[in-house]
């Protein structure tokens, strides 16, 4: 018997909150740092627009597929239920285990430590690790008060972030002098087909991480009102909104800096844009926007990820009652009767994120730790559509992925190629994440052995 989550979690999140979660979790600091990296491999401005649009299209393929799957199984921790229904309880447990011990702490800690470093630099004092831990604790406290508090916080922070970025865009059009020269006619053809394919590979690898976070909203699917309509719309509009925002931001960069200068500026292209737009105060403007962007992305993670931990724990609490692991799952499946939030799961994820901050210490190590396990389960989640499509077709009025099966296949192919690249170039921390994820297999077998008795 599986616990009935409808009697505990409440459907209180509308379209605005879903879009805010999608956009807020995707919109971190990458838009300020990645354009310089991409400029190092681009030959002409049009290639910059092409890569950002292409990455948005790839992510949109995943988001449109997730829209079908999450609306078919609109429950807390929907990605867990999707994989479980698509490939069986063993793979579902691997997903839940990975999120609990790798994805949740690693993702939250990576954003928290960047926030801490920026805040420390801005104040000229303090420990980045302690600032990051404090931010995680703050959002955990907010979300313990109720899902509406978490949703409203994300709407407000996402609105502030977008307004700040758009102020830079409009400023570049009306306050800064346009200095971008026309693209050389020969640049587009350099290297022939092989050169173009190499550029696409390098460009997508540099930019795609900036779009990460679009899956997180599926964790709160059990608290979304009218999920069959709200989830697909929120996912699609959220990804399209971020893609459009990234494109106009890059247009703003290219209006005030030639491509050669963007290469030289590297991670400082955002500051250069702000100085060209707002003068000497521009650097502080960018620092403030980046800080708020990262703060909002962190809040989205602290809000969404515990829902998946709760969902899997609620199921295994029922299955293991009186047997192996029952007390552990029972604790993580606890929902506060007063606030209707998975309180223990929120605290559990916050504590593990704190441990990850102290252990890994840097953003680069944390990203390497999570990227392969996280994207492998994302590939598995999207691939579930091929197993669950018949069920979706049987549902009256059920949202279906447009362009099926090419849309999900595009996402699966591109992400698989990127994972091979990650394993080759950063094996140490990558293998730590893979090893912890692999522990799910003996743990699952131990639990099943206890259930079978």
pLDDT band for position 433 (50/70/90)?
A: confident
Dihedral angle of Cα 137, 363, 412, 99, to the nearest 10 degrees: -30
Question: Where does the pLDDT of residue 385 fall: very low under 50, low under 70, confident under 90, or very high at 90 and above?
Answer: very high
User: What is the Cα–Cα distance from 260 to 308, expressed in whole angstroms?
Assistant: 45
pLDDT exceeding 90 applies to what percent of the chain?
A: 24
For the record, the structure tokens of 259 come out as 């491509």
Interatomic CA distance for residues 84 and 100, integer angstroms: 16
pLDDT of residue 137: 93
Task: Give the pLDDT of residue 363.
Answer: 74
Buried b or exposed e, range 60-86, using 16+ CB within 10 angstroms: bbbbbbbbbbbbbbbbbbbbbbbbbbb
pLDDT at 94: 92
Task: Work out the average pLDDT over 314-327.
Answer: 70
DSSP state of 28: S
Position with higher pLDDT, 243 vs 9 = 243
Q: Quick one: pLDDT at residue 189?
A: 44
Dihedral sign for Cα 67, 68, 72, 78, please: negative
State residue 265's pLDDT score. 76
217 compared with 188, residue with greater pLDDT? 217
SS3 (DSSP) at 362: coil
The 3-state DSSP class for residue 307 equals helix
| pLDDT at residue number 188 | 42
| Residues facing residue 91 across a β-bridge | none
What is the distance between the alpha carbons of residues 313 and 95, in angstroms, rounded to a whole number? Answer: 12
Rounded to the nearest integer, the mean pLDDT of the chain is 82
Lowest mean pLDDT among 90-94, 197-201, 319-323: 319-323
Distance of CA 380 to the CA centre of its chain: 16
Q: Count of residues for the chain?
A: 453
Percent of the chain with pLDDT over 70: 89
Rounded to an integer, the average pLDDT of 8-36 is: 81
What are the distances in angstroms from CA 297 to CA 27, 59, 89? 7, 17, 31
pLDDT of residue 324: 59
Residue 388: phi, psi to the nearest 5? -105, 0
User: According to the 3-state scheme, what is the secondary structure of 67-105?
Assistant: HHHHHHCCCCCHHHHHHHHHHCHHHHHHHHHHHHHHHHH
CB 443 within 8 Å of CB 97:
yes
Alpha-carbon distance of 286 to 297, in angstroms, equals: 16
Domains parsed from the chain with CATH numbers: 12-452 (1.20.1740.10)
Rounded (10°) CA dihedral 60, 36, 26, 438: 90
Q: pLDDT digits over 145-185, tens only? A: 876 776 777 778 778 878 888 888 887 887 767 765 544 54
380 or 342, greater pLDDT: 380
Cis peptide before 405 (omega within 30 of 0): yes
pLDDT digits (tens, 9 = 90+) for 261-317: 888 877 677 777 777 777 777 667 777 777 887 887 788 788 888 888 888 888 777
Other CB atoms within 10 Å distance of the CB of residue 371: 23
Of 28-42, 69-83, 315-329, the range with the lowest mean pLDDT is 315-329
* pTM of this structure: 0.80
Q: Are 66 and 381 in contact (CB under 8 A)?
A: yes
In the predicted model, what is the mean pLDDT of residues 399-409? 94
| C-alpha distance from residue 416 to each of 86, 213, 223, 371, 372 (Å) | 19, 17, 31, 12, 10
| pLDDT at 75 > cutoff 90 | no
> Bridge-partner residues for 13, per DSSP?
224
3-state secondary structure of 162: helix
What is the number of alpha carbons within 13 Å of residue 250 lying toward its C-beta? Answer: 26
Residue 320 is predicted with a pLDDT of 67
* Averaged pLDDT, 44-58: 91
Please state whether 269 falls in left (phi above 0), alpha (psi between -120 and 50) or beta: alpha
pLDDT of residue 2 exceeding 50: no
């Amino acid at each position: 018997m599986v616990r009935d989550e409808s009697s505990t979690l409440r459907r209180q999140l509308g379209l605005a909150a879903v879009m805010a979660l999608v956009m807020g979790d995707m919109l971190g600091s990458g838009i300020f740092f990645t354009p310089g990296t991409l400029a190092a491999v681009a030959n002409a401005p049009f290639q910059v627009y092409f890569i950002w649009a292409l990455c948005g299209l790839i992510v949109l393929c995943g988001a449109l597929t997730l829209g079908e799957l999450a609306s078919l199984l609109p429950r807390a921790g929907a990605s867990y239920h999707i994989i479980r229904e698509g490939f069986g309880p063993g793979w579902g447990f691997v997903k839940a285990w990975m999120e609990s011990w790798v994805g949740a702490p690693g993702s939250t800690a990576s954003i928290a430590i960047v926030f801490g470093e920026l805040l420390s630099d801005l104040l000229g004092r303090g420990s980045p690790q302690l600032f990051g831990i404090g931010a995680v604790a703050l959002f955990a406290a907010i979300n313990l008060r109720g899902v509406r508090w978490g949703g409203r916080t994300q709407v407000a922070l996402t609105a502030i972030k977008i307004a700040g970025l758009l102020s830079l865009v409009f400023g570049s059009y009306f306050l800064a002098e346009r200095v971008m020269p026309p693209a050389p006619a020969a640049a587009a053809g350099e290297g022939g087909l092989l050169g173009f394919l190499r550029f696409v590979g390098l460009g997508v690898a540099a930019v795609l991480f900036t779009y990460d976070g679009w899956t997180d909203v599926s964790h709160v699917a059990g608290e979304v009102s009218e999920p069959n309509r709200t989830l697909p719309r929120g996912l699609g509009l959220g990804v399209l909104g971020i893609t459009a925002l990234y494109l106009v931001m890059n247009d703003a960069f290219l209006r005030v800096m030639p491509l050669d200068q963007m290469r030289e500026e590297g991670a400082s292209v955002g500051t250069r844009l702000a100085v060209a737009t707002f003068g000497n105060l521009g650097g502080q403007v960018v620092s403030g926007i980046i800080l708020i962007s990262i703060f909002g992305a962190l809040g989205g993670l602290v809000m969404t990820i515990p829902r998946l931990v709760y969902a899997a724990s609620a199921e295994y609490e029922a299955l293991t009652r009186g047997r192996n692991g029952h007390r552990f799952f029972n604790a993580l499946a606890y929902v506060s009767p007063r606030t209707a939030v998975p309180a223990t799961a929120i605290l559990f994820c916050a504590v593990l994120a704190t441990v990850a901050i102290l252990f890994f210490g840097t953003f680069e190590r944390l990203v390497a730790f999570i990227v392969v396990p996280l994207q492998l389960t994302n590939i598995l989640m999207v691939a579930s559509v091929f197993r669950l499509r018949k069920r979706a077709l049987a549902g009256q009025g059920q949202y279906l992925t447009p362009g099926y099966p090419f849309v999900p296949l595009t996402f699966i192919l591109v992400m698989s190629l990127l994972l091979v690249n990650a394993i080759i170039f950063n094996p140490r921390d990558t293998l730590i994440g893979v090893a912890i994820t692999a522990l799910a297999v003996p743990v699952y077998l131990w639990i099943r052995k206890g259930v079978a008795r």
